[in-house]
Structure 1
Amino acid sequence: MFYWFLKFLAIGPLLKLIFRPWAEGTENVPSEGAVILASNHLSYSDWLFMPLVIPRRVTFVAKAEYFESPGIKGWLQKKFFSGSGQVPIDRTSGSAAAGAIKTQLRLLSEGEVCGIYPEGTRSHDGRLYRGRTGVARLALEAGVPVIPVAVINTDVVAPPGKVFGKFARPGVRFGEPLDFKRYDGLQDDRYILRAITDEIMYEIMRLSGQEYVDLYAQDSKKRDRDAEREAAKVAAQAEADEVWEEIKPD
């Protein structure tokens, strides 16, 4: 019940008062029963604003380290993440990805609402990137619908790399539920998983209005970092050449 204290008595009303978040399509989120909310990911604040506009608890999986730190600070951190709807990944599965799916399957079997970011990481440039197929596998194994979700303006409020950007009204759009029961039993078919994921990402793109890039966000970040490093090397060499031209003997 700490979550509801946090949401309604502490952070929730304050965020609503200051930012006045708006929402569309909230009627698409069922009042009960398991469902997956698959959202774009623009900012660390997404997991605060998206659950704020619907009455149901939305649970996300998080690194187990957030719940295992020692001391008073660790206890407060654990209470905060637990209270804000996050649960630790089950690491007995051998990998973080498998552990996340195992944890989410358990939550869905209990009728919970699970939030997931198919891109796997925040967008560094505001574009929408290729989704990873874990969301498709989760939907098929749990046998639950997927609701595409688009957060708007959260990257203005809290841009990547910054605690706060500038004031803006964040928004959340909930699409109509996507039912993938026609693919029952095909959760090990990678082509089916890709087709389902692409369908989900298309709906998120349609809701968000983002430019879509058929590339994983992590790969795009690496490519941009490599390009920046190469540009810095070229600039440094050009500067060195210019200095040499000034000081070299005639």
Structure 2
Amino acid sequence: MTLTRQYSEPSYAAPDTAYGWADLPGLIGLMTGAEKHGPAATSTLDALWVLYDRVLRVSPDRPDAPGRDRFLLSKGHGPMAYYAVLAAKGFIDPALLPGFGGFDSPLGHHPDRTLIPGVEIGSGSLGHGLPLGVGTALGLRAQGLTDPAVWVLIGDAELDEGSNHEALAYAGAAGLDRLHAVVIDNQSATHGWTGGIASRFAAAGWSTSTVDGRDHTALHRAFTQPHPGRPHVVVAVVEPKG
């Protein structure tokens, strides 16, 4: 008799945890020693929370499920908000947070995919996340996995790097409609773009939306905007870096 292994995807419903939006500042406050990257963390907090709370189909019960959505934090040089959200959603033990950046802590100043459940890439060096997102979307397509979405969160200053422009140009031409980018715009870019950040993506064939990066309703609406046949970017505008 031949036995067939049965496989089922985990539930992607938000886990029943004791932590919510109001708890995130306290969770971030447990992490010290990287205050110079505080603005990098706080600028991403709202977008990260809306993604993990209402959009991403990911589960701490099986963070490597083939059918999961992939979230790539390219803006990895200020990961405190990311770690706080992962802790709130059950991917890591909140007890790890006070050890952030310690010699024997898995929570480094840049995330490490080999140490932290749910982390898809090691990141922090500017300009790598979107190219990796393109490769991830292409890899999923090649495997016939057409349902998982790929999300990449980048900072506006990362768009000073040419690798990102090559990636966004290719993604638009290839019609990678499962690829999504979230650009946190806190006016850190050196050069900027006439017409705004979204105009650069639109010229390459992307669907675009520009919203208040602190407005959770607007973020959710932009994140779930239909974009058949095209990749999609959400530019989340927050207060300028002080």
Normalising by structure 2, we get a TM-score of 0.36
More helix by share: 1
Whichever of the two has the greater Rg, that structure is 1
Tell me which of the two structures has the higher relative contact order, counting C-alpha pairs closer than 8 angstroms and 6 or more residues apart: 1
